[in-house]
Amino acid sequence: MKILFDSSVLIASFIELHPQHNPALEYFRKAKDKEFEFIVSAHSILEVYSVLTSAPFNPRITPITAKRLIENNIKKNAKVISLSDKDYFRILKKVSEYNLSGGIVYDAIIAECAEKSNSDLILTLNIRDFIRLNISNSIKIISV
């Protein structure tokens, strides 16, 4: 089984005070134990970094600490999926045809990576936007 982790789940697994930390961490532990193939969108790497270094966590997460968290937990354990320029133009066509705007376009990148990697499941804290993207019925979407 292949499970693509949305950045929201990755962040929750790293931040102990996050309300969804425990369920996210449980999935993350299973990923590290190779109970399934752990998939991450390349876009999510910098999204996670951005949130970790800018959110008002106490104590603050420094850029070096965020980099270390990402490298030790994602780089060492996940298969990272990148998109081509053709993939981005396909996403642009899709979101414009569905009349979607704003931040949902970033979820469209994640969804495209799930399709490109033949993921069985997308794990997210933002299930609503992924459903709005009308993802292929072969990919299940669940929230932790």
Please give the average pLDDT of every successive group of 10 residues along the chain, which has 144 residues: 98 95 98 98 98 93 97 97 97 93 95 95 93 78 93
**pLDDT score, position 8:** 97
Closest CA to 25 of 8, 12, 36, 34: 12
**pLDDT score, position 104:** 94
Q: Which domains are present in the chain?
A: 2-143 (3.40.50.1010)
**pLDDT score, position 137:** 74
- In angstroms, rounded to a whole number, what is the distance separating the alpha carbons of residues 67 and 38? 19
> What is the H or E stretch that residue 86 is in?
helix 85-97
- In angstroms, rounded to a whole number, what is the distance separating the alpha carbons of residues 86 and 131? 23
**pLDDT score, position 131:** 86
pTM to 2 decimals?
A: 0.94
